[in-house]
């Protein structure tokens, strides 16, 4: 079965060509799958019955299937999906005071092997397709609002689930363009944040995109010695190169770079490191998100105590860099940052 979700309007027109239908049928199909999030060809009543039947022989909207949903006491929900080839991925629905945030995966597993991250521990499967990335958003919105219903309040997307988005550049950007199309899902590009561990050529490519998400960089260390150890990708693109790419990145009006900093007890949380962080970010329009570490029994790290996180934050702020603490959400269901690792797959083995 080939998937319709992830196809542009031109590609859908191409798909419909053998069926010999008028051109507006492609626009109707586009409207059904992106605007209405209708993932059942049989239920697309705008399309003639004969076309639906013919389509269903070889095409499906998406084969990504929700296999489990875990509900946290704080309202967060973690969704486990299975793709047609059996790989499993996860996405998270995070309700907040004035909006909802969806945390998406861009790869099944991750090749980066960051020492503190569970996805890294489970290793690498494959890149997701644009359709599989969009299907996560569609499935969560449909679960919340129902097929065909627009979201009742703002939705933010963060590409911070499993995987390194800039190592799946083409499919990630295709998904973003489709998500942002006002004729389709209609999500604002300024409501999407892409988080990278520091793929420098990807950052330079992103700079040239007419439609692009906000950019967040997972820094988590202020020296190459420590960053090499925590985030092995640093050996390929060390801090100087990463920060140079950030300095030449063309920020839009009211746009800030976000630097994420996972707070690891006794590893990267000293006052000296707070000072060094400020030093590294000098001259950048940047803010810092401090993420208290979400521990996993498989990994040797602990979170910095809250008074240390607060002390670090105060020190960074006092030196003129805005710093925020990202409160953990969904810890009770393993939905928090760095915990998305498709444990079902791990336990099946
Ligand atoms: N590969 C991308 C996106 C996925 S990770 C990146 O590295 O940015 C999303 C964020 O979660 C990163 O900032 C990462 O450092 C952080 N993270 C990973 N494991 C974590 C954990 N156990 N606790 C808290 N944050 C974690």
Q: How do residues 298-323 score in pLDDT, each as one tens digit?
A: 999 999 999 999 999 999 999 999 99
* 174, 127 Cβ separation under 8 angstroms: no
What DSSP assignment string belongs to 195-209?
EES--HHHHHHHHT-
Whether residue 125 sits in one domain with residue 102: yes
Pick the atom of ligand 1 nearest to 159's CA. 3
Rounded to the nearest angstrom, the distance between the alpha carbon of 34 and the centre of ligand 1 is: 29
- Indicate if 90 and 39 belong to the same structural domain: no
Residue linked to tokens 């970010």: 281
Strands 323-325 and 286-292: parallel
- What is the number of other CB atoms lying within 10 angstroms of the CB of residue 300? 10
Q: Is 164 in the pocket of ligand 1 (CB under 6 A)?
A: yes
Question: Catalytic positions, please?
Answer: 90, 337
Query: Do 127 and 222 share a domain, yes or no?
Result: yes
Residue whose CA is closest, atom 18 of ligand 1? Answer: 338
Q: DSSP character for 192?
A: E
Q: How many angstroms does the Cα of residue 339 sit away from the middle of ligand 1? A: 9
157 with 299, same domain: the answer is: yes
**Residue 328 pLDDT:** 87
DSSP secondary structure of 210-233: SS--EEEEE---SSHHHHHHH-GG
Residue 341 phi, psi dihedral angles, 5° rounding: -150, 15
Tens digit of each residue's pLDDT (9 = 90 or more) over 90-143 = 999 999 999 999 999 999 999 999 999 999 888 899 999 999 999 999 999 999
Task: Give the end of a domain, one of 14, 34, 60.
Answer: 60
- In 3D, which of 160, 230, 173, 181 has the Cα closest to residue 30? 181
pLDDT of res. 339? 82
Nearest-CA residue for atom 3 of ligand 1 = 160
How far apart (Å, rounded) are the C-alpha atoms in residues 195 and 164? 8
Total domain count, the chain: 2
- C-alpha 193: how far from chain center: 7
- If asked whether residues 24 and 130 sit together in one domain, one would say no
Q: Is 117 in the pocket of ligand 1 (CB under 6 A)?
A: yes
Q: Band of the pLDDT at 347, cuts 50, 70, 90?
A: low
The ligand 1 atom at the shortest distance from the C-alpha of residue 303 is 23
Is the same domain home to 49 and 78?
no
Residues 280, 141 within the same domain: yes
132-179 pLDDT tens trace: 999 999 999 999 999 999 999 999 999 999 999 999 999 999 999 999
Distance (angstroms) between ligand 1 centre and the Cα of 337 equals 6
pLDDT of the residue at 340: 83
- H or E element that contains 316: helix 306-318
CATH of the domain at 212: 3.20.20.70
CA distance 162 to 108: 6
CATH of the domain at 46: 1.10.150.530
Does residue 97 share a domain with residue 56?
A: no
Query: Looking at the structure, do residues 295 and 212 belong to the same domain, yes or no?
Result: yes
The pTM is what? 0.97
Looking at the fold, whether 163 and 299 belong to one and the same domain comes out as yes
Tokens of 254: 């009211």
Planar angle of CA 182, 185, 186, nearest 5 degrees: 35
| Closest atom, ligand 1, to C-alpha of 328 | 24
C-beta of 294 in contact with ligand 1 (< 6 A)? yes
Domain of 28 in residue numbering reads as 2-60
Ligand 1 centroid to Cα of residue 117, in Å, is: 6
Residues in contact with 240: Cβ distance below 8 Å, sequence separation at least 6, in sequence order? none
Question: CA 18 to CA 3: how far, in whole Å?
Answer: 16
Question: Taking 80 as the threshold, does the pLDDT of residue 219 lie above it?
Answer: yes
């Amino acid at each position: 079965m080939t998937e319709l979700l992830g196809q542009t309007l031109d590609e859908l027109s191409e798909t419909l060509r053998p069926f010999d239908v008028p051109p507006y049928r492609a626009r109707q199909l586009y409207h059904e799958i992106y605007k209405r999030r209708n993932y059942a060809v049989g239920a697309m009543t705008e399309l003639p019955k004969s076309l639906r039947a013919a389509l269903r022989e070889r095409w499906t909207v998406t084969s990504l299937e929700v296999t489990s949903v875990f509900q946290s006491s704080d309202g967060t929900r973690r969704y486990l999906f299975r793709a047609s080839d059996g790989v499993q991925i996860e996405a998270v629905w995070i309700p907040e005071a004035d909006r909802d945030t969806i945390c998406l995966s861009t790869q099944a597993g991750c090749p980066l092997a960051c020492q503190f991250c569970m996805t890294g521990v489970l290793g690498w499967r494959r890149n997701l397709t644009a359709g599989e990335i969009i299907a996560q958003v569609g499935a969560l919105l449909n679960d919340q609002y129902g097929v065909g219903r627009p979201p009742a309040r703002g939705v933010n997307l963060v590409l911070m689930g499993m995987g390194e988005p800039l190592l799946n550049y083409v499919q990630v950007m295709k998904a973003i363009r489709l998500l942002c199309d006002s004729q389709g899902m209609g999500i604002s590009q300024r409501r999407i944040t892409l988080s990278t561990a520091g793929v420098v050529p990807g950052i330079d490519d992103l700079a040239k995109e007419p439609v692009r998400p906000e950019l967040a960089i997972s820094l988590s260390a202020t020296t190459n010695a420590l960053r090499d150890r925590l985030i092995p990708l640093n050996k390929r693109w060390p801090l100087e190169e990463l920060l140079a790419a950030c300095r030449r990145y063309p920020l839009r009006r009211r746009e800030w770079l976000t630097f994420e900093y996972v707070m690891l007890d006794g590893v990267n949380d000293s006052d000296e490191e707070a000072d060094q962080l400020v030093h590294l970010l000098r001259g950048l329009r940047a803010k810092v998100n401090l993420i208290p570490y979400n521990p996993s029994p498989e990994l040797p790290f602990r979170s910095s105590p809250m008074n240390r996180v607060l002390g670090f934050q105060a020190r960074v702020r006092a030196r003129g860099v805005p710093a925020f603490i990202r409160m953990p959400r969904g810890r009770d269901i393993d939905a928090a940052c760095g915990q998305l690792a498709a444990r079902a797959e791990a336990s099946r083995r």
